[in-house]
């Protein structure tokens, strides 16, 4: 685990522990690499309200040449594999911009030790019957650099997806 992953997981786990003890309806996740526009948050909330979905993923458009090449391929491959595991198409399985119904997260044991937390959450929630909604967004790639190591992290995430889908305890 890289130093960035440890900070990331500590922040996620601390935030979740606090929020899930409250009576909030949703938990919003947004990566800190400046690639997502917080002005899109109302679109995720509106999609959750309109669809009654438990899980809303803000999906980036994967256009070759508009995003770093390693990220383009790792996201496309990882999303295709994960879509097969959950039984529905997800174009951006590693999106760090998502809205999840709090009740869906309560009682889910998250054990991820790295950036595969998004994958674990997606698999475990859909395995429990959580409904999914997708919202297309524009992403910016001129902000902070991603800490993701494309090949290594995609391979690791895909292998862990097998674990979360077929072997892990809910």
Global pTM reads 0.82
CATH of region 3-167: 3.90.550.10
Q: Would you state the pLDDT for residue 4?
A: 57
Q: Which residues of the chain have pLDDT under 70?
A: 1-5, 8, 141-152, 154, 169-170
pLDDT digits (tens, 9 = 90+) for 15-45: 898 999 999 999 999 988 788 999 999 999 9
Closest among 138, 116, 135 to 62, alpha carbons compared = 138
57 by DSSP, 3-state: which? strand
Q: Would you state the pLDDT for residue 67?
A: 72
- Please give the C-alpha separations between residue 155 and each of 97, 121, 130, in angstroms, as whole numbers: 21, 17, 25
Put residue 27 in one of left, alpha, beta given phi > 0 → left and psi -120 to 50 → alpha.
beta
Tell me how far apart the terminal alpha carbons of the chain are, to the nearest angstrom: 23
Closest among 157, 166, 150 to 70, alpha carbons compared = 150
- Residue 118, C-beta contacts closer than 8 angstroms, at least 6 positions apart: 93, 94, 95, 96, 98
Domain residue ranges in the chain: 3-167
Q: Would you state the pLDDT for residue 151?
A: 65
């Amino acid at each position: 685990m890289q130093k960035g992953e440890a900070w990331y997981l500590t922040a996620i786990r601390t935030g979740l522990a606090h929020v899930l003890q409250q009576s909030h309806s949703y938990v919003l996740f947004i990566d800190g690499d400046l690639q997502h526009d917080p002005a899109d948050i109302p679109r995720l909330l509106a999609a959750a309200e309109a669809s009654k979905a438990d899980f809303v993923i803000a999906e980036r458009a994967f256009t070759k040449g508009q995003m770093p090449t390693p990220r383009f391929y790792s996201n496309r491959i990882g999303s295709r594999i994960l879509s097969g595991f959950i039984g529905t198409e997800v174009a951006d399985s590693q999106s760090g911009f998502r809205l999840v119904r709090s009740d869906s997260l309560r009682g889910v044991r998250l054990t991820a030790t790295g950036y595969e937390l998004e994958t674990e959450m997606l698999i475990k929630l859909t395995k429990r019957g959580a409904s999914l909604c997708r919202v297309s967004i524009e992403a910016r790639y001129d902000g902070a650099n991603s800490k993701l190591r494309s090949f290594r992290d995609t391979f690791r995430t895909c292998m862990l997806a097998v674990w979360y889908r077929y072997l892990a305890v809910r």
